[in-house]
Amino acid sequence: MNDPASQPLPADGRGRLSALLRLWPFARPYRGMIALTFGGALLATLAQLAVPLITAAIVDGPIAAHDRAGLIPLIGLALVFGIAEAALFFLRRWAMNKSCLQIERDLRDTLYARLQRLPVAFHDRWASGQLLSRATTDVSTVRRFVGFGAVFLAVNLVTCVVVLALLLVRYWPLGLAVLLTTVPLSGLALRWERRYNVQARSVQDQQGELTTDVEEAVQGIRVVKSLGRSGLVFDRYDAKATRLRTLQLKKVRTLALLWCVFELHPQLTLAMILVGGAVAVHAGALTVGGLVGFVALFTVLLWPILSLGFLFAFAQEAASACDRIGELLDAPITVTDRPGVRPASLGSPARLRFEGAGFTYPGSTSPVLDGIDLEIAPGETVALVGATGSGKTTLTALVGRLYDVTAGRVTLDGVDIRDLPLTQLRSVVAAAFEDATLFSMSVRENLTLGRPDASEADVEEALRVAQAEFVHDLPWGLATRIGEQGLSLSGGQRQRLALARAVLGRPSVLVLDDPLSALDVHTEKLVERALREVLAGTTALVVAHRPSTVLLADRVALLAGGRIAAVGRHTDLLADVPAYRNLLAQDSELAEVPS
């Protein structure tokens, strides 16, 4: 499989924490809020630090001196700090959620817009589940990290530094000992970073695999049921789910080990402090209050140190989510406007020409199309005929730049279509494809998707041409919301709606990829009759399988071996080109064809 997402993580250190820097452009607009979050969290933690210091002062001051009155201001001070901490907690929660939810929204929008702009060739290669899991799970992972992990990672690191500094100031020999114990801890964390990162990434990729499976199972439910292969499909899914579990368990094991060490470390250090402190107090180098303060300060460190273990893992996960999202944001947009393109003035209808046009699918070695020369005069209709797999669909996709030619060029009125703004090209060229994709919107929204400015009369006209007036009989007429992919409609109905969408507003260039394949003979005749009027006014390339569709065209082009093997009038080709005769003769309707 050439799905880039299923390729193993390269060993070049991709997915390191530095991947998180990618988030900066998204965080930048909210940096004020983020600073507020960070400041609030830091102040709250520092307020917390005041309590041990006050405790030490109470032990060495009023308690040692049996001075009750002296207790009151110190306890009052501790209270003030406690209240300040609570207020700052609120500030942090509020500022944090505000900024991180906004960042999430921006990230989602950017990703969605990117998926829309990425060329069809990109979507050919990527499993949709991988895209789905990136757009949902990974974005959420990043949001949770930004909103929670990042702030605490930073605050806890700062807290560690400040507390260690305070410990050094209060009694440097013990402080130094505590500092030294963090060295092996950091070393261990760094070593595990890489391992955890690879594991987190493979879990996320496997989640994408599962998403793909669920999506395909739901979309292909009819096929699976009718083939009676629910069991097989389930087994495949189960195997993948089991693999996910295995990968997750591996990840959990690493995390548990990490936790274990981060949990043990402060306990051992505390024991060391107590022993060392007792010796120091005994030797008169430290007061009892000093030791109490030292221990109380150290206990402030317990949570930050413990949390660093999982925050680190969290950061890892967010980093690999960033990587996975980054792969989409970095995927090149190959079909795009050239710098400085300007709209050209094109005739309506325009002249369409393929000039030595060739196309090779990415990753493929041999071209599908190779030196296509074909000219369609303004207002002319050319039928494209060829065996299955001869490249008809590919050729039609070149006109609207769903793919860019890999050789030669395609022109409209002599202008290379790559020198037209995509918006202009796609407003000039309308298309209907073999699979009539409809969206979960109303019939009207589906129809006017490409031409939001279409008038009511245009819509009626398009419905008439496509013989799709049945929509008026739907429960809410044109306002009826049709299901995902229009599943509540028959194949023929969907195809007629897709055709109506294409002919809406009489486009200047019309590309139809076998638009009548799902229609019954009677409806097909009606559509053909109405389509003939539309075709008279546009330049059209129509993929055809049946002689009756071919007869709509002024000329026919036979596609074979990646080239236009013959062009001419249907009757002439039928008489002179055996390959053409063979292709169309398989159709029983041939008998009806006038010669």
Ligand X SMILES: Nc1ncnc2c1ncn2[C@@H]1O[C@H](COP(=O)(O)OP(=O)(O)O)[C@@H](O)[C@H]1O
Which option in ligand X, Mg ion, none does residue 368 bind, with CB closer than 5 to 8 A by kind? ligand X
Question: Tokens 């024991």 sit at which residue?
Answer: 271
Q: In angstroms, what is the minimal distance from the CB of 393 to ligand X?
A: 3
Q: In angstroms, what is the minimal distance from the CB of 379 to Mg ion?
A: 25
Of 295, 419, 398, 385, residue with least CA distance to 356: 398
Angle at 460 between CA 347 and CA 529, to 5 degrees: 70
Q: How many helices (H) and strands (E) does the chain have?
A: 20, 10
> At 412, is the secondary structure helix, strand, or coil?
strand
Our CB check for ligand X shows the closer of 123 and 229 to be 123
Our CB check for ligand X shows the closer of 364 and 586 to be 364
Which option in Mg ion, ligand X, none does residue 424 bind, with CB closer than 5 to 8 A by kind? none
Which option in ligand X, Mg ion, none does residue 391 bind, with CB closer than 5 to 8 A by kind? ligand X
Q: In angstroms, what is the minimal distance from the CB of 217 to ligand X?
A: 22
- In sequence order, the 6+-apart residues with CB closer than 8 A to the CB of 488 are 482
Size of interface with Mg ion, in residues (CB under 5 A): 2
Our CB check for Mg ion shows the closer of 401 and 545 to be 545
* Rounded distance between C-alpha atoms, residue 477 and residue 469, angstroms: 10
Our CB check for ligand X shows the closer of 126 and 294 to be 126
Strands 555-560 and 539-543: unpaired
Q: In angstroms, what is the minimal distance from the CB of 361 to ligand X?
A: 4
CB contact at 8 A, 127 and 135: no
Which option in ligand X, Mg ion, none does residue 401 bind, with CB closer than 5 to 8 A by kind? none
Q: Torsion over CA of 227, 233, 234 and 237, rounded to 10 degrees?
A: -170
Which option in ligand X, Mg ion, none does residue 400 bind, with CB closer than 5 to 8 A by kind? none
Q: In angstroms, what is the minimal distance from the CB of 117 to ligand X?
A: 18
Our CB check for ligand X shows the closer of 340 and 363 to be 363
> Which stretches of the chain bind ligand X, using CB under 6 A?
124, 361, 364, 368, 386, 388-394
Q: In angstroms, what is the minimal distance from the CB of 544 to Mg ion?
A: 11
Q: How many CA atoms lie within 13 A of 445 on its CB side?
A: 11
CB-closest chain residue to ligand X: 393
Q: In angstroms, what is the minimal distance from the CB of 384 to Mg ion?
A: 10
Q: Torsion over CA of 420, 423, 429 and 434, rounded to 10 degrees?
A: 120
Which option in ligand X, Mg ion, none does residue 364 bind, with CB closer than 5 to 8 A by kind? ligand X
Which option in Mg ion, ligand X, none does residue 361 bind, with CB closer than 5 to 8 A by kind? ligand X
Our CB check for ligand X shows the closer of 440 and 582 to be 582
Type of residue at 9: L
Our CB check for ligand X shows the closer of 54 and 540 to be 540
Q: Which tokens is 501 given? A: 């969408």
394 makes contact with Mg ion (CB under 5 A):
no
How far, in Å, are 55, 266, 269 from residue 302 at the CA level?
A: 18, 6, 10
How far, in Å, are 54, 56, 170, 488 from residue 62 at the CA level?
A: 11, 10, 20, 82
Our CB check for ligand X shows the closer of 364 and 588 to be 364
Q: In angstroms, what is the minimal distance from the CB of 2 to ligand X?
A: 10
Give, rounded to a whole angstrom, the gap between the first and last alpha carbons of the chain. 49
Where is 174: in which H helix or E strand?
A: helix 172-219
Among 269, 393, 446, 448, binds Mg ion (CB under 5 A): 393
Residue 543 phi, psi dihedral angles, 5° rounding: -75, 130
**Where does this chain bind Mg ion (CB under 5 A)?**
392-393
